Amino acid sequence: MTIQTSRASSQRHDVAVLFSSHSRDAYAAEAAARGETYTFTDAWGMPRTWVKGEYAYLAPNAAGLLLSRCNIKHDLCEEAELSQERLDGYRALFIPNAAHLADNTIARIERWLSVPDRRLIVSGKTNLPPRLLGLKSCALEPVKGYTGWRWLPGSPFANDAWESLYVSGYRGHPIQRVEPAPGSRVLANLVDLTGDLDDASTATVADLGPGIVLTDKTVYIANQVFELIRGMLRNL
C-alpha cells in the first residue's frame, strides 16, 4: 500500500493520523503464516491476495474517515515520513492499531507529547510504552466474542441520551488488557459479548476491565474499534 496525500507541505494541518508500514508488513506476515489470507481475481484478471480479519490494518483509513465526517481537517502521515520537525507541527496525533512502531518513532512521539497542549489518541494493538498512555500495564489478550463498551458513572455518555452498552469490536479481535495508572480516568469498561446475540438482553456479557482510559493528554481505547468502523464502511 502506498500512502499519498493531496496536500502540499505548506498546507499541512495540525491533526494527523499515523500509518505504520512496519505494522502493516508485520500483520501481513502473521496473516500469511496463520493462513489468514484469501486470493481473488481483480478487474484485470490478475490474482490478488488480501489478508483477513484483524490483520487487514484498516484502522488508519477508518480514523481518517471519521475525522472527515466530523469536518476535522487532517493529514494521513506515513511513519517513515514522521520526522521530529513534521511531528512538532501537529497538536493532535491518532495512532490506531499500530503494534510495530519503530523505536525512533516512539522516541519522537514521547518528545512531542512532553510539550503542553498536545493530544495523543491511540486504539487497539500498540507497542507504545504503557506509561505514555496513562497505564501501568498493557498486554494483548484473545477474546472469543464481540467486544463492547459499557459506560461508567461519571462518563459524559452515561445518561439516557446514550445506550449503556455499545458493540465496538469484531468477534475474535484481540483486545489489550490494561491497568490504569494512578490519576487516569476510565470512561468505559470493555466487555466480551457471546452466547445468544439476537438481542442485547440475551447476550452473555463478561467484563474485560478498562476499555477507554483518559489522561490530561491521552486517550487510549483498548479494543480495535477503528477496524470495526472501517469494516462497516468498506463500501462507502
Name beta bridge partners: 205: 193
pTM reported for the whole predicted model = 0.90
Confirm or reject CATH 3.40.50.880 for domain 9-232, answering yes or no.
yes
Q: What is the pLDDT of residues 148-188, one digit of tens each?
A: 999 999 899 999 899 888 999 999 999 999 999 999 999 99
Mean pLDDT of 28-56: 89
Q: What is the pLDDT of residues 47-106, one digit of tens each?
A: 888 888 889 899 999 999 999 999 999 999 999 999 999 999 999 999 999 999 999 999
* Three cell numbers, residue 53: 480479519
CA-CA distances (angstroms) from residue 46 to 37, 42, 88, 130, 213? 16, 5, 43, 43, 45
The full set of domain ranges for the chain reads: 9-232
Query: Which positions ≥6 away from 161 have C-beta within 8 Å?
Result: none
Whether 89 contacts 83, CB under 8 Å: no
- How many whole angstroms separate alpha carbon 153 and alpha carbon 144? 27
Half-sphere exposure of 216 (CA within 13 A, CB side): 6
